[in-house]
C-alpha cells in the first residue's frame, strides 16, 4: 500500500490530496488556462446527430404520453427498472469504477456493469471514461468536452451535436488510459459495441414486454425503449449542465460544480458535484454516508457486503473539514466557520 493511503473500516482513506497513484496523469487539475489563447476554433455542426437526437426527443415525448395513457403497468415498471440498471451501468460502472477507479470489482460484478453500461448506450466505457478524465483534469476549459462555460445547452447536449474542440482531442491524448485499454472485458465491449449496443439497448427492452406480458409493439418501443433511454440520457447530462451551474459549493467555491439535490435524485446520486470534483476518488461521490439521494452508493455497498466490490476509497472526515474551512463557500452544515461550535 502506498504511504499516502491508510486502510479504514469502510475501505481506504487517502490522507493527502493525491489520487490513485496508478493513474497519476488524471484527476488533478493542472493549472491549464481557463481561456486558451489557442487556435481559432469554428463550431462544426454534425447534422446526423442533430436529426437523430431530435427524433429521439420527439419520440420520447410521445413515449411519456403513452406511458400515462396506454402502457400496461408491467411495461411502466420495466422502464423504471431499466432506467436504474442502465443508470448504474454509468454511475457505478463507467464513472466510479472505471473512470475514477474509486473501488474494485470482481469479474461477475464487472460483467453485470458492462451489460448495464451497454444498455445505457452512452458510448463504450473506454470512450466514456477518456472524455470524463479529460473533463476532470481540464474542467471548464476548451479541452473539457462539455465545457460548462459555453452555456447550459452546450454542456447538456450541444457538445454531442458538433465536432469536438481540437483541444479536447490534443489534451485527451495525454490522458493515461492504459489501465482501461488493457482490460479484456472493456476491449471486448469496444470491439463488439456496434452489435451488442443495439441488441441490449433497443431490441431486448422492446421484445420482452411484447412476448412476456402481451404489450403492444408501439408501447414497448416508445415507452420502455425510447422514453427510458432519452430520460436516462437527460439525467446524465444534467450533471454536466445543471450541476455545473446551480447549487452550493461547500467544499470549493473556486470551481463551478455544485451540490444539486434535484440532479442527485435523477442521476442516482451523482448530483453532489462540488464534492465530487474536490474529492474525485471517493466511491460515494458525496460526503454523506447515509445514502441521501445516492442509490449508487447503496448499490456498491450491497456488492461490498457480499464481497464482490472491495477496496472502496473514501476521504477522512478530518481532510474534508480542513478543505471546507480552506476553500468552502460557507454553506457546509457542520464545518463552515459560520456554523462553528
Kindly list the residues in this chain that would bind ligand ST9 in the complex (CB under 6 A).
46, 49, 87, 90-91, 95, 121-123, 128, 130-132, 134, 145, 160, 163-164, 168-169, 172-173, 232-233, 235-236, 239-240, 267-268, 270
Looking at the Cβ atoms of 132 and 323, the one nearer to ligand ST9 is 132
Least distance CB 216 / ligand ST9 (angstroms): 26
Q: Residue 101 in contact with residue 130, Cβ under 8 Å? A: no
What residues have CB less than 8 Å from 74, skipping those under 6 apart?
Answer: 209, 212, 213, 215
Q: Are 309 and 303 in contact (CB under 8 A)?
A: yes
Q: How far is the CB of 275 from ligand ST9 (least distance, A)?
A: 12
Give the nearest distance from C-beta 92 to ligand ST9 in angstroms. Answer: 10
Q: Which residue is nearest to ligand ST9 (CB)?
A: 172
Nearer to ligand ST9, 8 or 45 (CB): 45
Q: How far is the CB of 290 from ligand ST9 (least distance, A)?
A: 20
CB of 76 to ligand ST9, least distance (A): 17
Beta carbon nearer to ligand ST9, 102 or 219: 102
Cα(120)–Cα(200) distance, integer angstroms? 9
Which CB atom, from 163 or from 253, has the smaller least distance to ligand ST9? 163
Specify the residue, 90 or 335, whose C-beta has the smaller distance to ligand ST9: 90
CB-neighbour burial class of residue 71 (10 A; exposed 0-12, middle 13-18, buried 19+): buried
Amino acid at each position: 500500500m502506498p504511504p499516502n493511503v491508510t486502510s479504514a473500516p469502510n475501505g481506504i482513506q487517502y490522507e493527502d490530496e493525491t489520487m490513485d497513484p496508478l493513474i497519476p496523469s488524471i484527476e488533478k487539475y493542472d493549472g491549464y488556462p481557463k481561456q486558451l489563447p489557442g487556435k481559432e476554433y469554428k463550431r462544426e455542426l454534425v447534422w446526423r446527430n442533430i436529426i437523430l437526437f431530435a427524433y429521439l426527443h420527439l419520440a420520447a415525448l410521445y413515449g411519456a404520453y403513452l406511458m400515462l395513457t396506454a402502457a400496461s403497468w408491467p411495461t411502466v415498471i420495466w422502464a423504471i427498472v431499466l432506467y436504474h440498471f442502465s443508470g448504474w451501468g454509468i454511475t457505478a460502472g463507467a464513472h466510479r469504477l472505471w473512470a475514477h477507479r474509486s473501488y474494485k470489482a470482481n469479474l461477475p460484478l464487472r460483467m453485470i456493469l458492462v451489460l448495464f453500461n451497454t444498455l445505457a448506450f452512452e458510448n463504450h466505457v473506454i470512450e466514456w471514461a477518456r472524455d470524463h478524465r479529460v473533463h476532470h483534469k481540464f474542467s471548464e476549459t476548451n479541452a473539457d468536452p462539455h465545457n460548462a462555460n459555453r452555456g447550459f445547452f452546450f454542456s447538456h447536449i450541444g457538445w454531442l451535436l458538433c465536432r469536438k474542440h481540437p483541444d479536447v482531442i490534443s489534451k485527451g491524448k495525454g490522458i493515461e488510459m492504459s489501465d482501461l485499454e488493457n482490460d479484456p472485458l472493456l476491449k471486448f465491449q469496444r470491439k463488439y459495441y456496434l452489435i451488442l449496443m443495439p441488441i441490449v439497448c433497443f431490441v431486448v427492452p422492446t421484445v420482452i414486454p411484447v412476448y412476456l406480458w402481451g404489450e403492444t409493439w408501439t408501447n414497448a418501443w416508445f415507452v420502455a425503449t425510447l422514453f427510458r433511454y432519452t430520460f436516462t440520457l437527460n439525467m446524465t447530462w444534467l450533471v454536466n449542465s445543471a450541476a455545473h451551474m446551480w447549487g452550493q459549493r461547500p467544499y470549493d467555491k473556486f470551481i463551478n460544480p455544485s451540490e444539486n439535490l434535484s440532479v442527485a435524485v435523477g442521476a442516482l446520486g451523482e448530483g453532489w458535484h462540488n464534492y465530487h470534483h474536490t474529492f474525485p476518488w471517493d466511491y460515494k461521490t458525496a460526503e454523506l454516508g447515509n445514502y441521501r439521494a445516492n442509490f449508487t452508493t447503496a448499490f456498491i455497498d450491497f456488492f461490498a457486503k457480499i464481497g464482490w466490490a472491495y477496496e472502496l476509497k473514501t476521504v477522512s472526515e478530518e481532510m474534508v473539514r480542513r478543505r471546507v474551512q480552506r476553500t468552502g463557500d460557507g454553506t457546509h452544515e457542520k464545518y463552515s466557520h459560520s456554523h462553528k461550535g
